[in-house]
Amino acid sequence: MDDIAVRFEHVSMAFPGVLANDDVTLDIRRGEVFALVGENGAGKSTLMNVLYGINTPTDGKVFIKGREMTAFHPRAAISMGVGMVHQHFMLVPSFTVAQNIVLSQEPRRGRVFFASAAARRKTRELVERYGLEVDPDLPVEELSVGLQQRVEILKTLYRGAEILILDEPTAVLTPQETDELFAVIRRVVREQGMTVIIITHKLYEVMAISDRVGVMRKGRLVGVKDTSQVDERMLSSMMVGRPVLYDSLEKTGVPGEELIRVEDLSVRDSRGLPAVKGLSLSVRAGEILGIATIEGNGQSELIEAITGMRRAESGRVILRGRDATGLDPGAIRAIGLAHVPEDRLATGVSREDTIRDNLLTGRHREARFNRFGFHQRVSTIERYAAELYEKFDIRGAGTDALAGELSGGNMQKVVIAREFSFDAPVLIVAQPTRGVDVGAIEFIHSQIIARRNQGCAILLCSADLDEVFRLSDRIVTIYEGRITGEFTGPFSKEEIGWYMTGSRREKEAVQ
Amino acid sequence: MKGRLKRLNWGYLGSLTVSVLLAFAIGAVILLIAGFDPLEAYGAMVQGAFSNARHIGDFLEYAMVLCLCGLACVLGSRVGIFNVGGEGQLLLGAIAACQVGVWLTGLSAWIVIPAAALAAMAVGGIYALIPGWLKVKVKVNEVITTIMLNTVAASLCQYLAKGPWKNPNKNMVAATAQLDPRYWFGTVIPNSSLSTAIFAAAVITFLTWYVMQKTARGFEMRLTGHNPRFAFFSGIKTDRLVIACMVISGAMCGLVGMFRVYGAEHLYRSSISNQYYFEGLTVAMIAGYQPVTVIFLSFFFAILKIGAQGMELSAGVPNQIYLIIQTVIIFFMAAESGIFASLRAGAQRRKARADIRRKEGADHA
């Protein structure tokens, strides 16, 4: 028992309508890096939220270092030495690093007053002990995402965590930051004897960092292996439950005329700050231009300006040779543009309307769907929607169900089905597979490539760099609203990673 | 679509029925405490609404007002804008229509009545355009602006009826001049308020329902109300649509004012509307903003209200009991979604747990 850090015994977790964890029994050893992998909705986060006391399991027991968890509450879990770094950081942006780290367990002076010197001293001690370099006096909002994550880790260490849960820690990191994170993980495991549980769906990271790996599928733990005895292919088949064929996507044809042209575009974000600063790019027919960037560097504003969702400050957008600057989305779509938006919940679907209505939107004015041009032909619409539903393999309760009842991946299929059905020669695709299952990712990728081969000009933006590498013919890196580099294949992840963080200028300065 | 609609409607109808029954039960308890026999009172209420043709005409006319006001509210809410200013639009429409009739006295009814209707719709529509435009262009909350504009409209009408447009008959304190009888709408049931306006109202009701439920435009309205960003993203001109719906909603309210003047009152005074728009808005809320339900509930509440007035006369029970019943129904309908949601969630949890046990049982066996 002594070398077991965490033990799950027959843990089940039921949410209304779903069994998110189904009889999971699992031991995690002290001092190991344990990777938990699985598709979205496989129950990885649910299980870890049980361990962190956010979820109270419907059934089963959890032991931490041999002691049974009785109360399921984060405070109880923290006191038993569990720390968790969520995907979305829980930091106060305007507070300094030290203030964030001691938050909720602040050193006090005279029981009432915040002892700021003590907070800084303790932070510095932590930084030194674990070798996690960060300036205690900087406000968190001035830190890069990688450093913010480091602050989150320090916060859990400050609270005495011995078991550290990292939920998709690399989703927001550049390749370099990922390497640094892994170095940190190795150090805390080796030097402090920490136990680290890392939730991920990037299999090469599993191979790179973990000692053992557990695979979850549909709420069940389908296998636990020593990492040295598996490969990526094996893991992905375990995750999906069938062999996954990573076909090399066949690209055909040569680029044709220029369909997207952005000239010296400047856009402000919602706070009124410059987000895109004099950016120019061009995409030709039969070509996919990938944008490699870290979130918050202006790519969202760029796409919104191209598609008419946001007004550009200056510069021009030319689509199929026509000036589309300042037009509304309807007029831009009329030129021949379709758009898979990055935020499907807010922009991509209407959750309170049926899947049928969501699939129809945009085509609802077409003559074939309207008698006399205004009276909706219900049965024609239903046939059309059912066809798309079938073709894009949307899995839900039928076209009558509300779009909001779909899982994230299926909701995304609705968006893709609708936008790809327009046969528009210009496609703007943002985060096409965010939160989508492995099986559906293959399908969406093949659809994107098919459109490319038919001669569409595609602008692709994704936080998943592997996706950008896999699909793009050409990649531009954007940093702080400017293009920092342009690449044609074969792409070097290392090099593009440097340009994404704006390091090119620093490198040039050195030379 | 049919299957889903049926499912939804049953749930809704069930909670509506329960709410109404509970409301009558609570009303009965209050009546008992106040020393009345509830059965006798409710009997008198039914009698009050149906005992003679005049009462039937009155409740039909009131149902018409509730229905048009309710639909005007639904029209706004369909695109995500809440028109609380219908009362002001109604009053302004009424006084404008009335004054047009007074000014044009002497001309043929074929000219005067359309002119009055146009004036009522224009005034109501323009008065709704202000909050609609402010909402779309500068994101000013329409609930606040429309409520405030109600007061402005009511005061303006009061001023006009007391001042420049005052009735020449000195006994009338706050009323405009009376319309020439040849402009009055024909009566459908003698001595009641019911006029031929109800036929126009029926046409408007049908059109409103048809556009919202059956057309591509109605589809766009629904999308805009549910997710305006998605609607805009899909190419719908949402700003224009929201403003247009608000203006039409205001025009409908103005027209109700005109119907009240030309059909029932024959001049403008404060009894043109005693917060009738708010009663219609209440009906719309209870109906869950569904047009067909609004139509049926308008009749129900009109019967209740006219019945309660009859009850007061015949059984001496204060007609405020109507307000109590209405309020309790609103209360339960508002609580309904929460109560049912928690019941459903509980059932699902129990089912999921039972599934786990069953599976474990099978595993052990």
Condensed to tens digits (0 to 9), the pLDDT of residues B140-169 reads 999 999 999 999 999 999 999 998 898 888
**Cβ contact A143:A175 at 8 Å:** no
pLDDT band at B9 (very low <50, low <70, confident <90, very high): low
User: Do A4-240 and A258-510 come out as alike in CATH topology?
Assistant: yes
Domain ranges of chain B: 78-189+228-282
Tens digit of each residue's pLDDT (9 = 90 or more) over A309-352? 999 999 999 999 999 999 999 999 999 999 999 988 889 999 99
User: Per-residue b/e over B314-333, b at no fewer than 16 CB within 10 Å?
Assistant: bbebebebbebbbebbbebb
For residue B195, the tally of other CB atoms under 10 A from its CB is: 23
Residues A392-438 pLDDT 10s: 888 888 899 899 888 778 889 999 999 999 999 999 999 998 877 77
Element (H, E) at A304: helix A299-307
B231/A350 touch (CB, cutoff 8 Å), yes or no: yes
ipTM value > 0.90: no
Q: How far is CA A151 from CA A56, A155, A186, A193, B253, in A?
A: 28, 6, 17, 20, 59
* Residue A163 token pair: 């078991």
Chain A, window 308-347: residues with a beta carbon less than 8 angstroms from a chain B beta carbon: 309, 328-331, 333-334, 339, 341, 346-347
pLDDT of residue B1: 43
Q: What is the mean pLDDT of chain B?
A: 89
Cβ of A361 under 8 Å from any chain B Cβ? yes
Task: Please indicate whether, in this complex, the C-beta atoms of B234 and A362 are within 8 angstroms of each other.
Answer: yes
Confidence of residue B7 (pLDDT cuts 50, 70, 90): very low
CB contacts, 8 Å: B217 with chain A: 374
Identify the pLDDT of residue A509.
45
Inter-CA distances, B213 with A239, B71, B78, B207, Å = 45, 13, 11, 10
Q: Cα–Cα distances in Å, from A442 out to A41, A467, A475?
A: 17, 11, 21
**Helices B238-259 and B53-78: angle between axes, nearest 10 degrees:** 170
pLDDT by residue (tens digit) across B101-150?
Answer: 999 999 999 999 999 999 999 999 999 999 999 999 999 999 999 999 99
Average pLDDT score over residue span B349-358:
65
Amino acid B339: pLDDT: 73
Q: How far apart are CA A6 and CA A60, in angstroms?
A: 14
Name the strand (E) or helix (H) holding A164. Answer: strand A163-167
Q: Which residues of B touch A400 (CB under 8 A)?
A: 1, 3-4
Contacts of A328 in chain B (CB under 8 A): 232, 235, 237
Looking at chain B, list the stretches that DSSP marks H as alpha helix, in order from N- to C-terminal side. 2-33, 38-50, 53-78, 86-103, 109-138, 142-162, 197-214, 216-226, 228-233, 238-259, 276-286, 291-315, 321-364
- Give the closest-approach CA distance of A14 to chain B in angstroms: 6
Give residue A247's pLDDT: 59
8 Å CB contact between A263 and A316: yes
**Minimal C-alpha gap between A17 and chain B (Å):** 6
Which residues in chain A touch residue B288, judged by CB atoms under 8 angstroms apart?
none
Taking 50 as the pLDDT cut, the residues of chain A under it are: 1, 506-511
Q: Which CATH number fits domain A4-240: 3.40.50.970, 3.30.1440.10, 3.40.50.300, 3.30.465.10?
A: 3.40.50.300
Q: What is the mean pLDDT of residues B31-41?
A: 90
Which residue out of B4, B224, B230 would a mutagenesis test of the A interface target, given it has the greatest number of A Cβ atoms within 10 Å?
B230
Q: Taking the C-alpha atoms of B155, B158, B160 and B163 in order, what is their torsion angle to the nearest 10 degrees?
A: -120
By the 8 A CB rule, do A264 and A316 touch?
yes
CATH architecture, domain A258-510: 3-Layer(aba) Sandwich (3.40)
Greatest Cα pair distance, chain A, in angstroms, is 80
Among B226, B349, B353, the residue with its CB nearest the CB of A353 is B226
Question: A with B: how many residue pairs have Cβ under 8 Å apart?
Answer: 107
